[in-house]
Chain A
Amino acid sequence: MKLDVKLTKSLGQFNFAADFVIEGKRIGIFGPSGCGKSTLGNLLAGLVVADDGAIKLNDRPLYDSNDKINLPPEQRRVAVVFQHAHLFPHLNVKQNLLYGFKRTSVERQKLNIDDVVTALDISHLINNRIAGLSGGEKQRVALGRALLACPDLLILDEPLSALDSNLKGQIIPYLRKTLRRFEIPYLYISHSLNEMRLLTDQIIHLSSGQINEITNAETLAERRIEIDQSAYINHLQLHKPREVGSLLGYNWGENELLLLDHAQPESGLFALSSKEVMLFKKHPYALSARNLLTATITDIIGQGGMVSVKLNCGGEKLVVQVVREAALELGMEVGMQVYAAIKASAFKRLE
């Protein structure tokens, strides 16, 4: 997917300007609230009309103020998944899913409803009314509905921000799996770098209506550790599980990690909050945590009352957040060897 945007838009006091060309399948739009993320999404979808400029999607003009082109939303082939699912309340799940599909020309109908329903795990809901669905189910139906419209570009406008953190954790694997499987290029709008790191390859970083830079989420997340309020989440790719007593042992770099994860004993991606790890200067001989890794400090990033310590654990990166006093007491410095203790229950499976 190639997106070529050069436009300006004034909304009252707020001035939005964008000028970029980006190519890729998994693109993020990141920025604080009020920076114009959703405005950009709406401009692309045709829900808001720019003051002047041009938008081209795969070299097809969607908007051009010079040539007086302004395709209405239904001709842009840009589908949107909104923050609140916005399912049609008078239609059932199946009718919602097929709303866009029926309005797509036959030669463009690349997906079929059965595949989408299976991938999103909503086949048991297909004849249900919308009113009875949970928040997570609604969002999955909304995603399915947008995918089935077989758009050239899918815009996901903060699709998870209305869900609680527990539900988010459940939906992200579906998003990753489904978006990868159906290969529809998407723009993921969010203010969460953790979501961005899992779902995008490149991000457009916005602030107050301007584009700061085009970068990738991992780079930005590491740079923002100091200012980000929420804890940095480590994403660990774990392999080859084997039974170790009542736990499962997974390979991670040169180490083996013990996890409480019997539901699905297979390789996968796991989340580990940087606040769930304890550091020791000397080997603690008796402790309840099941994982004790030897690690070398590669970086220490100051962060108010908290300090983020970057570790090298047998070739893998791990970020740990500790209280500043603790860091001082342990006399932490780059190159020092420490022991990292992690509970077997601290890992959350992402896929």
Chain B
Amino acid sequence: MLDLTPTDYQALWLSAKVAAMATIIAIPLGFGLAWLLVFSRCPAKSLLDGIINLPLVLPPVVIGYLLLLLLGRQGWLGSILNKLGVQVIFNWKGAVIACAVVGLPLMVRSIRLGMEQIDPDLLFASRTLGASWIDCVRTIVLPLSIPALITGSTLCFARSLGEFGATIILAGNIPGATQTIPLAIYDYTNTPGGESGALSLCILSIALSYLVLLLNQFFLGRFCRSSA
């Protein structure tokens, strides 16, 4: 029933790789930002909150374009990276960056919701028992945020699997190099006779997304059992 070519398999592999990498980058970043928003006395909290959430409301194409301006060869960050011999646009690294930026607000929101459930008095208790703040984050905040981290990772991974607009601008649509499943489907729909290829990839997409949801349930369930 599935009519898949080697490029489709490459797209599947690339999608999984890019989404996983983006999630791995977003986890520590999201945790740190959520901590700042929930527990720190940082005065610019609402400004920070706004900037983090911007990718959620901006069109992904706009994000992609802004990232291209920033990371392109003439870009502010891109020129520095270029001198170091690192090229992030029009390769898979660009796709990872695009997905991480788009997925980060979902990650931060989930972890933040989880952290807000933590009674601040628990942190006070740990401090008066001799834990420095970093010790307290490691031994109290982090373990109590695990369900939120699982949910945040799922959302970020799923969002990355579906990322299209920012990826196509920053990484391009190069089969075998930067073409993830959504980009491949887009290609098929623009090609006469590509319907069955597009449909096959759609089915693959559904299966992959469903698998992610099942994994989320599995990890959450396992965590709840071990702490029940």
Complex-state Cα separation, A72 to B127, whole angstroms: 8
B143 surroundings in chain A (CB, below 8 A)? 90
Complex-state Cα separation, A201 to B131, whole angstroms: 31
Indicate if A79 sits at the interface (CB-CB under 8 A): yes
Is the Cβ of B129 less than 8 Å from the Cβ of A79? yes
Is the Cβ of A131 less than 8 Å from the Cβ of B128? no
Find the A residue at minimum CB distance from B144. A90
A91-138 residues with Cβ-Cβ distance < 8 A to B are 99-100, 103-104, 129, 131
Choose one: A79, A90, A129; the contact of B128 (CB below 8 Å).
A79
Indicate if B130 sits at the interface (CB-CB under 8 A): yes
Choose one: A89, A90, A146; the contact of B129 (CB below 8 Å).
A146
Choose one: A46, A78, A86, A99; the contact of B121 (CB below 8 Å).
A86
B110-134 residues with Cβ-Cβ distance < 8 A to A are 119, 121-122, 124-133
19 contacting pairs across A/B (C-beta < 8 A): A72-B132, A73-B124, A73-B127, A73-B128, A74-B127, A79-B128, A82-B124, A84-B121, A86-B119, A88-B125, A88-B126, A89-B144, A89-B227, A90-B144, A103-B130, A103-B131, A103-B135, A131-B228, A145-B129
Indicate if A334 sits at the interface (CB-CB under 8 A): no
Complex-state Cα separation, A149 to B128, whole angstroms: 9
Query: Could you tell me which B residues sit within 8 Å of A by CB distance?
Result: 119, 121-122, 124-133, 135, 139-140, 143-144, 227-228
Complex-state Cα separation, A84 to B135, whole angstroms: 23
A76 surroundings in chain B (CB, below 8 A)? 128
Indicate if A330 sits at the interface (CB-CB under 8 A): no
Complex-state Cα separation, A5 to B224, whole angstroms: 46
Indicate if A179 sits at the interface (CB-CB under 8 A): no
Query: Could you tell me which A residues sit within 8 Å of B by CB distance?
Result: 45-47, 72-74, 76, 78-80, 82, 84, 86, 88-90, 99-100, 103-104, 129, 131, 145-146, 149
Complex-state Cα separation, A149 to B130, whole angstroms: 8
With contacts defined as CB atoms under 8 Å apart, how many contacts are there between chain A and chain B in the complex? 65
Is the Cβ of A99 less than 8 Å from the Cβ of B124? no
Is the Cβ of B227 less than 8 Å from the Cβ of A90? yes
A145 surroundings in chain B (CB, below 8 A)? 129
Complex-state Cα separation, A76 to B129, whole angstroms: 10
Complex-state Cα separation, A76 to B125, whole angstroms: 13
Is the Cβ of A86 less than 8 Å from the Cβ of B130? no
Complex-state Cα separation, A80 to B140, whole angstroms: 17
B131 surroundings in chain A (CB, below 8 A)? 74, 99, 103
Complex-state Cα separation, A14 to B69, whole angstroms: 52
Q: Give the distance to chain B from A77, nearest Cβ to Cβ, in Å.
A: 8
Find the A residue at minimum CB distance from B124. A47
Is the Cβ of A74 less than 8 Å from the Cβ of B132? yes
B130 surroundings in chain A (CB, below 8 A)? 74, 100, 103-104, 149
A46 surroundings in chain B (CB, below 8 A)? 127-128
Complex-state Cα separation, A146 to B140, whole angstroms: 17
Find the B residue at minimum CB distance from A103. B130
A79 surroundings in chain B (CB, below 8 A)? 128-129
B144 surroundings in chain A (CB, below 8 A)? 89-90
Known: A74-B128, A79-B128, A145-B129; 19 extra A-B contacts, CB below 8 A, are A45-B128, A72-B132, A72-B133, A73-B124, A73-B127, A74-B129, A78-B128, A79-B129, A80-B125, A80-B128, A82-B121, A86-B121, A88-B122, A89-B227, A90-B144, A99-B126, A103-B135, A104-B130, A149-B130
Is the Cβ of A47 less than 8 Å from the Cβ of B127? yes
B119 surroundings in chain A (CB, below 8 A)? 86
B140 surroundings in chain A (CB, below 8 A)? 88
Is the Cβ of B128 less than 8 Å from the Cβ of A47? yes
Complex-state Cα separation, A146 to B126, whole angstroms: 10
A99 surroundings in chain B (CB, below 8 A)? 126, 129, 131, 139
Is the Cβ of B122 less than 8 Å from the Cβ of A86? yes
7 closest A-B pairs by beta carbon, nearest first, are: A103-B130, A100-B129, A73-B127, A86-B125, A90-B143, A80-B128, A74-B130
A86 surroundings in chain B (CB, below 8 A)? 119, 121-122, 124-125
B122 surroundings in chain A (CB, below 8 A)? 86, 88
Complex-state Cα separation, A297 to B131, whole angstroms: 57
Complex-state Cα separation, A78 to B135, whole angstroms: 18
Find the A residue at minimum CB distance from B140. A88
Complex-state Cα separation, A103 to B129, whole angstroms: 7
Find the A residue at minimum CB distance from B121. A86
Complex-state Cα separation, A73 to B131, whole angstroms: 8
Q: Which of B119, B129, B139, B144 gathers most chain A CB within 10 Å?
A: B129
Q: Give the distance to chain A from B147, nearest Cβ to Cβ, in Å.
A: 11
Find the A residue at minimum CB distance from B129. A100
Q: Give the distance to chain B from A56, nearest Cβ to Cβ, in Å.
A: 18
B128 surroundings in chain A (CB, below 8 A)? 45-47, 73-74, 76, 78-80, 146, 149
Q: Which of B125, B131, B140 gathers most chain A CB within 10 Å?
A: B125
Complex-state Cα separation, A206 to B11, whole angstroms: 71
Complex-state Cα separation, A284 to B189, whole angstroms: 105
